Amino acid sequence: MDSTLNDTNVWTALVTPMQENGDLDLEDLATLIHKQDEAGNGVLILGSTGEGLALGYEDKRQVVHTATSLNIDVPIMVGVGGFNLREQIEWIESCQEFGPDAFLLVTPLYAKPELQGQIEWFKALMDAANKPCMLYNVPSRTGSWLEKQALATLSDHPNMYAMKEAGGSIEHFQAYRMAAPSVPMYSGDDGWTPYFSLNGCRGLVSVMANVWPKATHRYVELCLEGNTRDLVPHWKEPIASLFSVSNPIPSKVLLKEKGWIKSSTLRPPLTDKDLKDTKRLLKADESITKWYEENKVK
């Protein structure tokens, strides 16, 4: 496995910039990826934050092609999500011509498979991939939990890289760690990272790194060093502001306010019209900017 992946403590679940008419804005996409590269954050494209399920096949290919063609040092991971196994295998095979560094594999959407169904699903996807794979547990979105025994069974697959845990509790995080001690665990929740880091997580797959790439990188460094005491009080409200309405609406709105993208347009069923006021976001941005200046490595 590429040592770059093992050295990546922050993966940014990147938004997908769009023009006002809903078409992709590949120029802004490249701008955002370069900002993550500057911060040293790996880039996850076409996850739920990247509106991967709202994009058509050709749009997704353009995103992968753009991301993998840039002259950057950080790795690129591609999201794989849905409930049609054949389509997901075809998607993985299509992506591989562009040479991404890894894939993110989420539990099947809506179907709620049991243990054997999950094992067969993930094994088929990992067999199709010639790259490392991160498994993703996010029951609030998929409707089902990744079975702990499925993770244990799959832990010795040659393409197993890591797990992203977004179940929202220390107890579940610890249970996955115990089920598969050899699998590196990443926090899938920005706010839980200080707690997960004290229980052995490798890093964070982050939403907030979209808008605060360098500050988030420093936040995770401090978490992994065990210096978490002052993080939660300072970061709790800024993180909450990014989830005041459905992700990634607040992130796109703040990115536009910061001048990093030209439009905060999203694909239906999401819309930036659901965020009525930007004052909370702008206050959060001011707070984190100040925090970073006080806590960055001199």
Cβ neighbours for 199, distance < 8 A, ≥ 6 positions apart? 170, 173, 174, 177
Q: CA–CA separation, 143 vs 105, rounded Å?
A: 15
User: Catalytic annotation on 164?
Assistant: yes
Q: Which of 5, 8, 6, 10 is nearest to 215 (CA)?
A: 10
Tell me which of 35, 60, 131, 136 is the catalytic residue: 136
136 assigned to active site: yes
Please say whether the beta carbons of 129 and 159 come within 8 A: yes
Cα separation, 223 vs 245, whole angstroms = 26
Query: Which pairing describes strands 76-80 and 185-187: parallel, antiparallel, or unpaired?
Result: unpaired
CB atoms within 10 A of CB 57: 11
| Spatial contact of 278 and 257, defined as CB atoms under 8 Å apart | yes
Residue 164 tokens, joined: 């992203």
Q: For residues 261 and 25, is the Cβ–Cβ distance under 8 A?
A: yes
Question: Given 164, 214, 252, 256, which residue is catalytic?
Answer: 164
DSSP secondary structure code for residue 272 in this structure: G
User: Catalytic amino acids?
Assistant: 136, 164
